[in-house]
Amino acid sequence: MQVNSSSTLTILHDGQFWVALCEHEEAGLYGARRIVFGPHEPTDELVLAFVCGRWDKLGIRMGAKNADGETGMRADRINPKRMQRIVRRAIEAHGVGTKAQQAIREGYEAHKGECKAQEKDARRADEQRRFDLKQQKRKEKRRGH
């Protein structure tokens, strides 16, 4: 079994900072990551050190699939009006933008969901701790201590 994978690094200036856009595609899955270098243009040595030292630790979340892989239908057999509906729903669900922007947005949304779950667990633990403390104080008052 042969697995094709490709990675690209694009460095651009977004108006304020120099940014590296790291894209990785493997086995039909696509992922991207945005890294901010700073206000000054990165040197070749800095970029080489980044690629050699940090590329494998980027944590690119693979998830975006090709549109053909999702529908599983051949485009020439679909009614044109049905195709319009499929395209409209896909744009509404994923939004307009480049593939890299969509992958970065999906990564942000996944991270946001993880953070919300952690905050919820921490809040519940804090409420339980306060409740236990309140119950302990009530017991102590009841005993007359």
pLDDT of residue 29: 81
d(CA 64, CA 26) in angstroms, rounded, equals 11
pLDDT of residue 15: 82
d(CA 20, CA 7) in angstroms, rounded, equals 13
Domain boundaries defined on the chain: 1-62
In this model, does residue 70 exceed pLDDT 60? no
pLDDT of residue 28: 78
Residue that is written with structure tokens 């693979």 in the block: 62
User: 114 versus 89: which is more confidently predicted?
Assistant: 114
pLDDT for 8-57, tens place per residue? 888 888 888 888 888 888 877 888 888 888 888 888 888 888 888 887 77
User: What's the whole-number mean pLDDT along residues 96-106?
Assistant: 79
